[in-house]
Structure 1
Amino acid sequence: METISPEAGAGAPRGLKGVVVTDTALGDVRGTEGFYHYRQYSAVELARTRTFEDVWHLMLHGTLPGPAERAAFGERTAALRHLPAEVAAALPAIARAGAVSGPLAGLRTALSLLGAASGFRPLYDTGPDGRRDDALAACAAVPTLLTALHRLGRGEEPIAPRDDLPYAANYLWMLDGSEPDPIRVRAVEHYLISTVDHGFNASTFTARVIASTGADLAACLVGAVGAFSGPLHGGAPSRALDTLDAIGTPERIDPWIRERVLAGDRIMGFGHPVYRTEDPRSRMLRSIAEEFGGPLVEFAVQVEERVEAILAELKPGRELHTNVEFYAGVVMELCAIPREMFTPTFAAARAVGWSANILEQAEDSKIIRPAARYIGPPPAQPVPAA
């Protein structure tokens, strides 16, 4: 990374907020409107009306499939769920090594191995069809890798994928081996579709930076997973649910929240760097949770109402609402997904968005190489004698 002198100006804002770095046809987040889209379609409407495979096809091929295309795409991606023998054989050791850090950390190693075993070539040396083939293979394998690492970490044998099940149902099948309940499947599918892509977030940007170097697709995904694993990015769904557990009862909501806000702590599941209105993903997932009903949902709604009221009182002028993580945690809990798999489930969806961005970036041969402003001691100073 190049450096520029302080005299060159203030440079970019912290975190590159608002800095436009490229053009994209994949979608956008309009934060002041509370709206986001995949290509030309509302992401929320897609989640309500289409299957995960439909949206996957849209992101990678640019169109929503017709009936024949849908069937062919489903068959092709289902066949790619099965892991190369070399990768499957290595998963027990990866799971043992990641016993503390969990499946998402193991996914970094497993994806790298998958790319090597599958013969992924550098994007720079591969044409559009070959890149897309690698993207399909990687995205199809991610749920298989995650569920296998999860089960191995618990001392259980992995469950082989089923070719007769669609993406979301197969994911639930590989988690516990029980026949997926249609209501749970559709709820999880809503969540997966709603989290496929979301603008130039940290992990997507990381994937595109690596893609700009011409590296292979697995390397780009490994970098994206690394960025995604941070608690300020993808690592929040289970933490948001932990907040509900910590509060415990309705009478503790106000004192617990006030104490945290006055201490300067972040309330996990609230606030978003882009949205200045309610997160549309949260709105949709709340409606799904309310269809399930029950004490957890009722309590979550109470907490949401009181947190927003207290934040409005203590931080006037700031629009702080629930983000996708808050009700995502509730929905996944209701669907019996283990908490340690909340963020990996998020990653299973986002891999499709990362791959679409990687393919788009690969069309531009210009490497991403920004500059930094040097603020250290003035050079050149004499080097002290040893």
Structure 2
Amino acid sequence: MDATRTTPAEVPRGLAGVVVTDTAIGDVRGHEGFYHYRQYSAVELAAERSFEDVWHLLVNGALPDAEESAEFAGRTAALRALPPEVAKALPVIAASGSGSGPLAGLRTALSLFGAARGFAPLYDSDADRRRADTLAASAAVPTLVAALYRLGSGLDPVEPRADLPYAANYLYMLTGEEPGPRHARALERYLISTIDHGFNASTFTARVIASTGADVAACLAGAVGALSGPLHGGAPSRALDTLDAIGSPERIDGWIRERVLAGERIMGFGHPVYRTADPRSVMLRDIARDFGGPLVDFAVQVEGRVEAILAELKPGRELHTNVEFYAGVVMELCGLPREMFTPTFAAARVIGWSANILEQAEDSKIIRPAARYVGEPAPVPLPPAA
């Protein structure tokens, strides 16, 4: 008998609570309402540091000093421009994926980008080459999704500017106008807060692909595919759709009760890990309140009533707003179109995926779980051929 073979173990559906590996990237402590990148509070990082500094922390393992920060920001900004063959293909990708938006186009564009940049399999690359490939891909993702959005809207792409920080450049490429510091910083804090978040579905997907030794582009394209699901990254716009559907304060209670009693999910509420307030939502609510206005006032009112009615109709369950609820509000206030909410999430999460890809590449063991067969007993005789 093979001494390395293990006996299959029964685990919860969805691998809930199952530890599959060790990581030094970060963790989510759901019962405390806390999560961190490396040894630092993610919320504190979003309040105090730049996106580029947190990017450096995730992929290099430490926060940069002032000199390192400037060098890293300059180096990654120089990687934003696309190879000519990728830029030429984007109109075709945007046209063919017009019904499903920039996120679907990003999968194709990432594969093409990896080929154009000559990405090698992780298995055949050293640590420096792997890191270089993740930096190149991560820097290109905002350029790709912004260009795909504009092309899909009948507009010409806007070339990236190396003199603007990550978030400001992203808004510039979407709108063609340099954003004000208030909007740029609000978006930057959102992007930092969503860089990484434990072993979510897209991160786990990236690590599974990385465990096969595939190249960085393959890992990231798979992660984007997982992110496209409405139960993962596809909810920020749906949370705003909920506010639109309710419409006015006097409709809040009736609308919510009808859906909860029908067993429908209220988008933007509840999280598979947090059993208290989602710290990302708390931070984004504060950012939204700084902007103020009717949308923010209505969102806060809806939040309060949803939580009260859920507590009444589902006693004993802790259901609060998750990151998608106020993420949608903040992105709307920053001028992002709703179809760009999830692609914008990807423009942040690509950094977390990259860190996890690099960490997984250090482990030579392929991820290969087992499944329990529940079909007809086998073998049975084959029926006669027709």
Q: Same fold (TM over 0.5)?
A: yes
TM bucket, shorter chain: over 0.9
In the alignment, structure 1 residue 274 sits paired with structure 2 residue 276: no
Q: What residue is the counterpart of 2:298 in the other structure?
A: 299
Deviation, structure 1 residue 385:
0.9
Looking at structure 1, the residues matched to 217 and 375 of structure 2 have their Cα atoms a distance apart, in angstroms, of 36
State the distance in 2 between where 1:211 and 1:248 align: 45
1:62-121 deviations in Å (ceiling 9; x for gaps): 010111101110110011000000000000000000111000000000000000000000
Show the counterpart of 2:156: 157
1:211 and 1:18 map into 2 onto residues whose CA distance is 22
**2-structure distance, mates of 1:324, 1:53:** 21
**Could you report, residue by residue, the CA deviation over 1:235-267 in whole angstroms, capped at 9, with x for unpaired residues?**
000000000000000000000000000111000
Q: Separation in 2 of the partners of 1:133 and 1:9?
A: 38
Letter paired with 2:356: N
Q: What stretches of structure 2 of length at least 5 have no aligned partner?
A: 1-6
1:117-154 CA-to-partner distances (Å, cap 9, x unmatched) read 00000000000000000000000000000000000000
What SS class does the counterpart of residue 37 from structure 1 fall into?
strand
**Alignment pair present for 1:114 and 2:113:** yes
Specify whether residues 211 and 294 from structure 1 end up closer, same or farther in structure 2 by C-alpha distance, changes over 3 A only: same
Query: Is 2:323 the counterpart of 1:353?
Result: no
The 1-side partners of 2:362 and 2:318 are apart by: 38
1:3 corresponding residue in structure 2: none
SS of 1:251's partner is helix
Change in Cα spacing, 1:10 to 1:376, as seen in structure 2 (3 Å) is farther
Give the root-mean-square deviation of aligned CA atoms.
Answer: 0.8
How far is 1:12 from its partner?
A: 1.2
Deviations for 1:301-340, whole angstroms, at most 9, x for unmatched residues?
0000000000000001100000000000000000110000
Query: By how many angstroms is 1:382 displaced?
Result: 1.0
One-letter amino acid of the counterpart of residue 24, structure 1:
T
Aligned position for 2:373: 374
For residues 156 and 358 of structure 2, the distance between their equivalents in structure 1, rounded to whole angstroms, comes to 34
Distance 1:73 1:315 in 2: 49
Tell me if structure 1 keeps the 8 A contact 2:138–2:350. Answer: yes
For 1:105 and 1:316, locate their aligned partners in 2 and report how far apart those are by CA, in whole Å. 39
Q: Partners in 2 of 1:330 and 1:135 — Cα distance?
A: 30
The question of whether the paired residues in 1 share the 8 Å contact of 2:8 and 2:370 is answered with no
- What are the Cα deviations for residues 127-185 of structure 1, in whole angstroms up to 9, with x where unaligned? 00000000000000000000000000001000000010000000000001112110000
Aligned mates of 2:271, 2:127 — CA distance in 1: 35
Equivalence for 2:173: 174
Equivalent in the alignment of 1:211: 210
Match of 1:5 in 2: none
TM-score for both structures, normalised by structure 1: 0.97
Task: Determine what percentage of the aligned residue pairs are the same residue.
Answer: 78
In the alignment, what sits opposite 2:310? Answer: 311
Q: Deviations over 1:3-28 (max 9, x none)?
A: xxxxx787111000000000000000
Residue of structure 1 equivalent to 2:77: 78
- Deviation (angstroms), 1:194: 0.1
Task: Tell me the TM-score normalised to structure 2 length.
Answer: 0.97
SS at structure 1 position matched to 2:167: helix
- Tell me, what secondary structure is at the counterpart of 2:349? helix
Q: What is the aligned length?
A: 379
- Structure 2 Cα separation of the partners of residues 300 and 59 of structure 1: 32
Cα distance between partner residues in 2 of 1:383 and 1:314: 54
SS in 1 for 2:28: strand
- Residue type of the alignment partner of 2:13: R
* Over 3 Å off, 4+ runs: none
Q: For 1:338-366, what per-residue CA distance to the aligned partner results, in whole angstroms no more than 9, with x for missing partners? A: 00000000000000000000000000010
Larger RCO (alpha carbons 8 Å, 6+ apart): 1
What letter is aligned with 1:328?
A: A
Letter matched to residue 117 of structure 2? S
Given residue 333 of structure 1, which amino acid in structure 2 is its aligned partner? E
Letter of the 1:232 counterpart: L
**Partner amino acid, structure 1, of 2:77:** A
